[in-house]
Amino acid sequence: MKPSDWISIILVFITSIVYYYFGYELDRTNFYEILAGFSIAFMAYVLILKQVKLSELKYFQVLAILLRLLLLFSIPSLSDDYFRFIWDGQLLVHAINPFDYFPADVTIEFPNKETLLAGMNSPEYYSIYPPIAQLVYYIGALFSSNSILGSIVTMRSIIILAEIGTIFILPQLLKSLKLNPLNSLWYSLNPLVIIELTGNLHFEAIMIFFLVTAIYLLVSNRKIAGGIAWAISAGTKLIPLVFLPVLFRKYNLKELILIYGTALISFMLFWLPLYNGQFISHFTESFQLYFKSFEFNASLYYIVRWLGFEAIGYNVIEIAGQYMPKIALLLIVLIQLKKSNRNWLKALESIFFALCIYYLFAFIVHPWYICTLVLLGVFTRYKFAVLWSFLAVLSYWAYQTSAYQENLYLIAIEYLVVAGLFTFEFFKKKEILKLDTKIAV
């Protein structure tokens, strides 16, 4: 064996220990253990990608799958969202619409009800999760109605299957766009992606798989199938809906009607089983609360909030919640309507920057949100999203107490460093993206 082979084996072994610890031993209140673990995993990740060869791609795809399987039987350590997932699934199994009631108002009994209610982070709000995600919750409760761990393993198995799909279809999409398929490993082996999506049970994994599939189908000129896959992606997490304008410059009117019509009709059909007279008001209420009540790891909003305190002496989140999302949406649409988006690489870069703007104006940027940006970044010359996927770990400082008190100095470091790398990459001499045998760094 060559020395480089031994180095890779050692790095993989160290990474596996870190993932096992995060899955089965970690206490999320210990910020310094989290930071140390992520630092080790990210160093190993970057060193592996520095020496990997195109002929080794399949081996590292298998590694990416095995690292996810290592977490199969773990309880999420850095997120308590799974309590609500299982709760919604239990309601669906009992033929109750999760959008109809606050959790505290549900009177029927089911296994682990009190445990789920006590662990939930939003018991005073209606559910806000889209229908494809609800379907997975339902499957989790259906196949393991008496066990929290059983429901987690069932849902995680679906997430891992989606991730396997992404791991294999992403290099094919890159090759069809004449990009280096090795760039897919920036997503597949990313520690934040593995720990947050698989380990902490976040459904961006399913959204990402169907978004990549939709783009691959559209690139292959399969418009109806692409529209349906895009709808499934948006039916898991809503964000792909705001990416649809990017197709406007790529297709003529007839083709747009076919793709948009297929996507939007499919998306609406997914909601039909959950729709009733109360659905719109309850979903809208929870959706508005998301933009007007919650805040975590924000950037521009925290500056606006500080200015509000300085000017009028109180938190301006309600006022900001009326205007900042609208400004962000306008900018997102404008970016995606550029003439240059006739080219698929330009279109994907526009989606990438549209998501950056969304996060810039967002009041909540949980670390797992960055995973979608890491995915989109593999189609561009920009690597600041990879750096951000590490620095977002600084926001875990808030998990040390039940009050989720953030350290704004760490938040400032996170965004200033990311902004610095973005500025450097944006103004440096532009690279020509093309297929070669070395990974693009």
* Cα torsion angle, 127, 128, 131, 135, sign: negative
Whole-number pLDDT of residue 300 = 94
Question: What tokens does 239 get?
Answer: 């964000």
Whole-number pLDDT of residue 321 = 81
Whole-number pLDDT of residue 431 = 57
Contact 201, 82 (CB under 8 A): yes
* C-alpha distance across the termini of the chain, in Å: 26
Candidates 59, 46, 37, 56; CA nearest to 11 is 46
Contact 189, 163 (CB under 8 A): no
Q: Please name the residues in contact with 279: beta carbons below 8 A apart, sequence gap of 6 or more.
A: 97, 99, 271
Contact 341, 176 (CB under 8 A): no
Cβ atoms < 10 Å from Cβ of 221: 8
Q: How far apart are CA 374 and CA 61, in angstroms?
A: 17
Contact 158, 206 (CB under 8 A): yes
Candidates 100, 115, 105, 106; CA nearest to 146 is 115
CB-side neighbour CA atoms (13 Å) of 400: 14
Whole-number pLDDT of residue 139 = 97
Q: How far apart are CA 165 and CA 63, in angstroms?
A: 14
Whole-number pLDDT of residue 313 = 79
What separation in angstroms does the CA of 22 have from each of 56, 189, 318, 331? 27, 16, 37, 38
Q: How far apart are CA 69 and CA 163, in angstroms?
A: 11
Per-residue pLDDT of the chain (441 residues; tens, 9 = 90+): 455 677 788 899 999 999 999 999 999 999 999 999 999 999 999 999 998 999 999 999 999 999 999 999 999 999 999 999 999 999 999 999 999 999 989 999 999 999 999 999 888 889 999 999 999 999 999 999 899 999 999 999 999 999 999 999 999 999 999 999 999 999 999 999 999 999 999 999 999 999 999 999 999 999 999 999 999 999 999 999 999 999 999 999 999 999 999 999 999 999 999 998 888 888 888 777 766 678 899 999 999 999 988 888 777 888 888 889 899 999 999 999 988 888 999 999 999 999 999 999 999 999 999 999 999 999 999 999 999 999 999 999 999 887 788 999 999 999 999 999 999 999 886 655 554 434 444
Whole-number pLDDT of residue 4 = 60
